[in-house]
Amino acid sequence: MYQVPLEEAKVQFLRLIQEAIHGQEIVITQNDVPMLKLVSLSKSKPRAQFGSAKGLITMSDDFDAPLEDFKEYMP
């Protein structure tokens, strides 16, 4: 992230847009006071990769065995 004065941003607006598209955050200032932030909206959250946790999760052999606490509710 870097700051650009408003007058400079007017002259270099297309270049600043290209930099924002490529992930740079630009703060536009007026009289050394931050006024605007130029950022890309196209950043999306990475999609889940199916199977990426394979081998990380295990279940015990008796995970579906009846629980002692619920024995009175079982037929």
- The predicted structure's pLDDT at residue 1: 87
**Bridge pairing between strands 26-30 and 2-5:** parallel
Whether 5 shows a pLDDT value over 90: the answer reads: yes
Dihedral sign from CA coordinates of 21, 22, 27, 28 = negative
- The predicted structure's pLDDT at residue 72: 86
**Closest by CA position to 6, among listed 42, 41, 31, 43:** 31
- Please state the rounded mean pLDDT for residues 57-71: 86
Tokens of 52: 């990426």
Domains of the chain (ranges; CATH) run: 1-40 (3.40.1620.10)
